[in-house]
């Protein structure tokens, strides 16, 4: 039982201004596994004022000082890696292999990437007699989700530190343990007092107070599109910069010449990874109508091989979804697919038969889905795949783009030129060709309702920087 009842403000662990606690539920057991305090507007103000007080000094720190700080964080994180993975497994149900080698590992991956980018990042460029200077934007509000918790913390905190910004973090109250451990790591690594601050709490209270606070210069938010709209509305009166990474309903186009065994198996596995709780999951598989029977056979066999169970057990591919609320939402959407006439290829409503407790969902595949069905329109955020047939390339592209989202896309073909041609027509911030992995140095983000701004690599730095033109910085050369 974890008791983590303090906030990290101005380099110290402090009690909340107004005592209020929340039980944290282990989704694999449905039992209370810890308690945290829930913050108030007064706690947010304390944290923001600490960030404001530290802002000028940290913005003036040298590149080398920030490089040394990021390296120190990496060194301390390495000592506590398994502890972070254990927390993630407990709070959001990630199987141990995923928790250790993907979830927890994403933290040092992005910190290390930020360190490499920082070494040569052009904070100042000369254009003729003008200097174009990039400066820290100021105190930032960072609001992160529960599905890839340490990943989303690291992709905000690391570039903010590299840019010279101070910050206040509100992690998800559903999965808060890893963030508290991360604060301990930063403290041990020597992050100066006030540079990093952490407040636990919910979105309507702490999140709204952070995004509307007059002394916050920038808000970086990851979460649902609905919540992202609320954050932007709260920030608008202060004319703050708002960077958002929101929802997705990504299409996976398998072209007629693809290796179908590889592409379909890979697509099913990618959709079910992290129990389907990834914003960029390939949840709509678009396949040639003439190959639908083959696709159904391969996909059903892959789903049948997915082992669902206790995240602590070896060989488990898929743990529970994060909460009772999320479980019920997924059940309702699966039922909507059945009611609207989609063909249920595997899975369905209820828990897997061998599991009596925990927020477990059956790996579910619908086939012969039309793109106007609820399961094809809404972000389910669970292990639910829709297989949608198409008649030609133009229809595949039209279906792929027929969504309010635009986070990611996937294309499989044995002809790289064809795959590139299709990728160029997808209205998404990212495209994976033939199962290519993400690149920590490439920008991550989306079009349309999937957000604005970019994270990862050098593009992630820009969100935390203001640009200043200094005219006459260099003397004019004699003619």
What pLDDT shows up at residue 133? 98
Q: Where do the DSSP E strands lie in 200-348? A: 218-222, 241-245, 251-254, 284-288, 343-346
Mean pLDDT of 109-113: 98
- Summarised one tens digit per residue, pLDDT across range 312-337 is 999 999 999 999 999 999 999 999 99
Mean pLDDT of 69-78: 98
- Summarised one tens digit per residue, pLDDT across range 370-398 is 999 999 999 999 999 999 999 999 999 99
Mean pLDDT of 103-109: 98
- Summarised one tens digit per residue, pLDDT across range 345-360 is 999 999 999 999 999 9
Mean pLDDT of 125-153: 98
Q: Is the pLDDT of residue 477 over 90?
A: no
Q: Is 92 left (phi over 0), alpha (psi -120 to 50) or beta?
A: alpha
Q: Is the pLDDT of residue 479 over 70?
A: no
Query: In Å, what is the CA distance from 152 to each residue of 78, 109, 140, 398, 444?
Result: 18, 12, 15, 31, 11
**CA–CA gap between residue 94 and residue 389 (Å, rounded):** 32
What pLDDT shows up at residue 107? 98
Average pLDDT, the chain: 97
- Summarised one tens digit per residue, pLDDT across range 190-230 is 999 999 999 999 999 999 999 999 999 999 999 999 999 99
Residues with Cβ < 8 Å from 251, sequence gap 6 or more? 282, 284, 286, 399, 400, 403, 409, 410, 426
What pLDDT shows up at residue 200? 98
Structural domains of the chain ordered from first start: 2-246 (3.40.605.10), 251-433 (3.40.309.10)
Alpha helix segments (H runs only) across 305-373: 324-339
Mean pLDDT of 104-108: 98
For residue 127, what are the β-bridge partners?
A: 130
Residue recorded with tokens 């952490």: 198
Q: Is the pLDDT of residue 478 over 80?
A: no
Q: Which of 69, 18, 12 is nearest to 198 (CA)?
A: 12
Q: Is the pLDDT of residue 161 over 80?
A: yes
Q: Is the pLDDT of residue 184 over 90?
A: yes
Query: Binning pLDDT at 50, 70 and 90, where does residue 476 land?
Result: confident
Q: Is the pLDDT of residue 166 over 70?
A: yes
Mean pLDDT of 450-479: 94
Q: Is the pLDDT of residue 147 over 70?
A: yes
Name the percent of the chain lying above pLDDT 70: 100
Residues with Cβ < 8 Å from 209, sequence gap 6 or more? 40, 41, 44, 45
Active site residues: 245, 279
- Summarised one tens digit per residue, pLDDT across range 280-294 is 999 999 999 999 999
Two tokens, residue 103:
């979830």
- Summarised one tens digit per residue, pLDDT across range 387-438 is 999 999 999 999 999 999 999 999 999 999 999 999 999 999 999 999 999 9
């Amino acid at each position: 039982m974890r008791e983590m009842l303090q906030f990290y403000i101005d380099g110290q662990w402090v009690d909340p201004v107004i005592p209020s606690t929340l039980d944290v539920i282990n989704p694999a057991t449905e039992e209370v596994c810890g308690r945290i305090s829930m913050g108030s507007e007064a706690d947010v103000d304390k944290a923001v004022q600490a960030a404001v007080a530290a802002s000028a000094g940290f913005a003036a720190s040298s590149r080398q000082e920030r490089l040394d700080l990021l390296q120190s964080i990496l060194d301390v994180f390495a000592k506590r890696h398994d502890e972070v993975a254990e927390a993630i497994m407990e709070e959001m149900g990630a199987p141990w292999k995923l928790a250790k080698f993907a979830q927890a590992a994403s933290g040092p991956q992005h910190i290390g990437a930020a360190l490499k980018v920082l070494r040569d990042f052009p904070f100042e460029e000369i254009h003729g007699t003008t200097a174009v200077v990039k400066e820290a934007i100021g105190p930032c509000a960072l609001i992160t989700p529960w599905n890839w918790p340490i990943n989303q913390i690291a992709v905000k905190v690391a570039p903010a530190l590299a840019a010279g910004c101070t910050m206040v973090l509100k992690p998800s109250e559903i999965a808060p343990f890893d963030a508290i451990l991360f604060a301990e790591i930063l403290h041990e690594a020597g992050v100066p007092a006030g540079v990093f601050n952490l407040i636990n709490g919910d979105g309507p209270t702490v999140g709204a107070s952070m995004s509307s606070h007059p002394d916050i210069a920038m808000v970086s938010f990851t979460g649902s599109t609905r919540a992202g709209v609320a954050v932007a509305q709260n920030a608008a009166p202060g004319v703050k910069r708002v960077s958002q990474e929101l929802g997705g309903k990504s299409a996976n186009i398998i072209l007629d010449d693809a290796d179908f065994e590889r592409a379909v198996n890979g697509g099913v596995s990618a959709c079910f990874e992290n129990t389907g709780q990834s914003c960029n999951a390939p949840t709509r598989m678009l396949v040639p109508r003439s190959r639908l029977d083959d696709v159904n056979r391969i996909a059903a066999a892959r789903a049948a091989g997915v082992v669902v169970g206790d995240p602590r057990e070896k060989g488990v591919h898929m743990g529970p979804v994060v909460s009772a609320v999320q479980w019920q939402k997924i059940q309702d959407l699966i039922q909507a697919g059945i009611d609207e006439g989609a063909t249920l290829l595997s899975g369905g409503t209820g828990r897997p038969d061998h599991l009596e407790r925990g927020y477990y969902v059956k790996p579910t595949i619908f086939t012969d889905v039309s793109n106007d069905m609820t399961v094809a329109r809404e972000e389910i955020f669970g292990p639910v795949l829709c297989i949608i047939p198409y008649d030609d390339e133009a229809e595949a592209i039209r279906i792929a783009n027929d969504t309010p989202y635009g986070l990611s896309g996937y294309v499989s073909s044995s002809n790289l030129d064809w795959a590139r041609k299709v990728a160029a027509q997808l209205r998404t911030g990212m495209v994976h060709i033939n199962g290519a992995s993400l690149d920590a140095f490439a920008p991550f983000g989306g079009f349309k309702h999937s957000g604005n701004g970019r994270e990862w690599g050098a593009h992630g730095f820009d969100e935390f920087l203001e640009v200043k033109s200094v005219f006459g910085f260099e003397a004019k050369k004699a003619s």
